[in-house]
Homo-oligomer: A and B are copies of this chain.
Amino acid sequence: MFSLAEENYLKAIYHLESKAKGAVSTNAIADAMDTKPSSVTDMVQKLAEKKLLSYIKYKGTSLTTLGKKTAADVIRKHRLWEVFLVEKLKFHWDEVHDIAEQLEHVHSEELIARLDKFLGFPDFDPHGDPIPDEHGNVKPTEKKLLSELNKKQRGVCVGVKESNSEFLRYLDKKNITIGTKISVLGKEFFDGSMVIQVGQDQFFISKKIAENLYIQTS
């Protein structure tokens, strides 16, 4: 069992590793966690002791298999709780992060297994990010922006890119939410606008909107 602070470090390093390939620098971690580099050095040394990551002085760190698994577990919990908050408690997509940040540290495998089932084994969180499975594996994400689709392509809405209240209210009004099937009926090349089908409704959307919706095709 790992402490709250340890879990947060692992999570941050996991995210940094997946973005910029190669070892993660001390300063990058400090930036991401809003803490001082000296604190990072201390913690990273402790995590190395515990075999959660490998650390070479002045050269940066990278997670071990155990570290990755542990981080993925935390991220899995975070994203499942986000689904719960949005789907069951009707929070908006942009209100759930801070709460999930707390809930992700509740320790109970059974709890997460049951929550997963209760939610219908979702694959994506409300921001369109994939939910790691119980072994820490993440499905290679197939998600694209709606704006990348062409005429006659279709997919399922899995999240939003930049979520602000106005945009989310618009989506509510159009009955677009996670899991909504969307088909592209037409696309204008000069402005990127589209005509899409959502349920029985067909309507026009601007490029700006199409660039803010994540779609899973496959």
A105-113, A156-164, A189-197, A199-207: which lies at the interface: A105-113
| A89 CB-CB contact with B under 8 Å | yes
| A38 CB-CB contact with B under 8 Å | no
Interface string of A88-105 (1 = CB under 8 A from B): 111100010011001101
Nearest B residue to A105, CB-CB: B102
| A95 CB contacts on chain B under 8 angstroms | 110
| A12 CB-CB contact with B under 8 Å | no
Chain A: residues with Cβ within 8 Å of the partner, total of: 19
Bound CA–CA A90/B90 (angstroms): 21
B102 A107 Cβ-Cβ under 8 A:
yes
**Given A89-B114, A89-B118, residue A106 in contact with residue B108 (CB < 8 A):** no
| A149 CB-CB contact with B under 8 Å | no
Min Cβ gap A194→B in Å is 34
| A115 CB-CB contact with B under 8 Å | yes
A115 B98 Cβ-Cβ under 8 A:
no
Min Cβ gap A88→B in Å is 6
B99 A108 Cβ-Cβ under 8 A:
yes
A89 B111 Cβ-Cβ under 8 A:
yes
Min Cβ gap A93→B in Å is 15
| A102 CB contacts on chain B under 8 angstroms | 105-108
Bound CA–CA A62/B202 (angstroms): 65
Bound CA–CA A91/B109 (angstroms): 13
Min Cβ gap A101→B in Å is 10
Min Cβ gap A102→B in Å is 4
A-B CB proximity, top 3 nearest? A89-B114, A102-B106, A99-B108
Measuring CB to CB, which residues of chain A are less than 8 angstroms from any residue of chain B?
Answer: 85, 88-91, 95, 98-99, 102-103, 105-108, 110-111, 114-115, 118
